[in-house]
Chains A and B, each alone.
Chain A
């Protein structure tokens, strides 16, 4: 048996994940040398910095809610250990599968539609930006945005060449929970639909030959995220998760503020 990596967590789902990886992980009593799982609901950036100071070998941020740009930038700039971020609406394995199924065919246009109550809309939009980023394989610029109490709309372009990547429509709804649909349209079309309250997540790839629906994912998101963190510790140690999170959060915040708004036409 290879050495098992210690994991420090107070979150029940991650305790289960540790138990589900008995060959690779074991519970830890303190942060030294451990993967420290941080609950994203609270001031996770401070907790992550503290864990790193205490000798964590990696940090796993579970479902970050708020993303204060300055504080998270500082964390990204100073952290010398891998920081893995788990975003259930942007599961790394689902992203990987979506991109793999496209077989290198770039989309012509990406459309993201988000529904959530007011408290959760920003985080949902952030993950929608993440999907647009991975489909475009580019950093994005909010070219135009319009926002009001009922929601927001935006046009996003590639930061590299200014080409249109796609657009987003975000709607505030009354029931709890987030619903996200992203369509990468083109000669190969990808549709991702995530309906959190229903517990439905579907990835479909559509070509002239027909519609391929990805098989269900029966591994919990937490276990998958923990495997990624273990991989980061054992592998290169690098993770772009925090940089990507910052990118997506900044874009979503700009959209919600209605920044880069053109004068209204018509």
Chain B
């Protein structure tokens, strides 16, 4: 019997990502309820699925058919919605990244889940991609020290990838204007938000290799919307670069790990689409090159399978890892924002 899923939020992340993903896993999950704050999108999405719709999280949590909740609301709402889920006694929670936007909130929600024995999984799909397992296996076998990590991201608008997986109702909202990055406070806020919302895709993998955050060396906002952040963690130098483009080629999303001998490139497919796992290429120190086989499942499918394994008792939630991942991201976001302010005035 599939688990009944309640979905909080009805934006593109739901319509173009989680609902199509869950449709591929009907043996494990079934969407039974969608709620939002009254945009009307929840009603439409639920109607397609024969699910219940509501305009209130409380109504969703009171629905006895809801066993598992996926939180896809704006990041600032995640923490209190997790606490609401815990209070309602749901069976498990899958929370879109980030888990929380402050350290205090992150600790509070992880403590609450741990004490209630409620599994929680943060949807960091790149970390769940099989490509990352391959990368880790290669590094373990290599026994070579990691020297630097670089995550380079350039993203065109999401619309073309939404269109590859679903049909979205055109938004009536006017397009957002670009932020004024000449204002240091605005720049700092943009970088903080982008680290929490975009860089977070790769930071669990970075923390996997370099867990102890030491500090940011430089950070800057990049127009029209992006960042470049240099920092160090466990003695490893890390460079994060991202730019969101108004137009342009298919995404570049590459995570590169440099060891003293090998270079490993992990190239992720575009968001939203189901094109299989990332590609892992290794340039060995002895000049050989290896490209690993790609897996049919992407990180989105695998994160839901990971949740199913926890629900079935085949795996457990590592609460300390969930918390440490969240705190790592928040520490970095805040230090990067501080560096932006200082760099702008220097």
Contact = CB atoms under 8 A, between A and B. Distances in A.
A179 interface: yes
Contacts of B213: 266
Given A109-B243, A262-B346, A167 B249 contact: no
Interface stretch (A50-58, A86-94, A182-190): A182-190
Given A173-B147, A173-B258, A174-B260, A108 B228 contact: no
Contacts of A153: 217-218, 230, 237, 239
* Most chain B beta carbons < 10 A, residue from A164, A172, A263: A164
Nearest to B151: A111
B84 interface: no
Given A173-B147, A185-B152, A197 B263 contact: no
Contact of A266 (B215, B249, B258): B215
Interface string B237-267: 1010101011111101000101111010000
Contact of A164 (B220, B248, B332): B220
B343 interface: yes
A175 B217 contact: no
Nearest to B217: A146
Contacts of B147: 150-151, 171-173
Contacts of A266: 213-216, 231, 331-332, 334-335, 338
Nearest to A197: B287
A261 interface: yes
Interface string A198-240: 1000000011101100000000000000000000000000000
B204 to A, nearest CB: 18
A43 interface: no
A194 to B, nearest CB: 12
Q: Give the most central of B148, B219, B289: most A CB within 10 Å.
A: B148
A166 B223 CA distance: 12
A179 B247 CA distance: 30
Contact of A263 (B214, B332, B342): B342
B150 A111 contact: yes
Given A153-B239, A169-B239, A109 B228 contact: yes
30 contacts: A108-B243, A109-B154, A109-B241, A111-B239, A113-B256, A144-B230, A145-B218, A166-B241, A167-B241, A169-B230, A171-B147, A173-B261, A173-B285, A174-B285, A179-B263, A183-B152, A185-B152, A185-B154, A185-B245, A187-B246, A187-B247, A189-B154, A198-B283, A207-B249, A208-B247, A262-B217, A262-B339, A264-B214, A266-B216, A266-B338
* Shortest Cβ-Cβ A-B pairs, 5 listed: A266-B335, A144-B218, A146-B217, A264-B215, A153-B230
Interface of B: 147-148, 150, 152, 154, 156, 213-224, 226, 228, 230-232, 235, 237, 239, 241, 243, 245-250, 252, 256, 258-261, 263, 283, 285-287, 289, 331-332, 334-336, 338-339, 342-343, 346
Given A154-B218, A167-B239, A211-B249, 15 more contacts: A108-B154, A109-B241, A111-B152, A146-B232, A151-B237, A152-B237, A153-B230, A169-B230, A171-B258, A173-B285, A185-B252, A187-B247, A208-B249, A265-B216, A266-B338
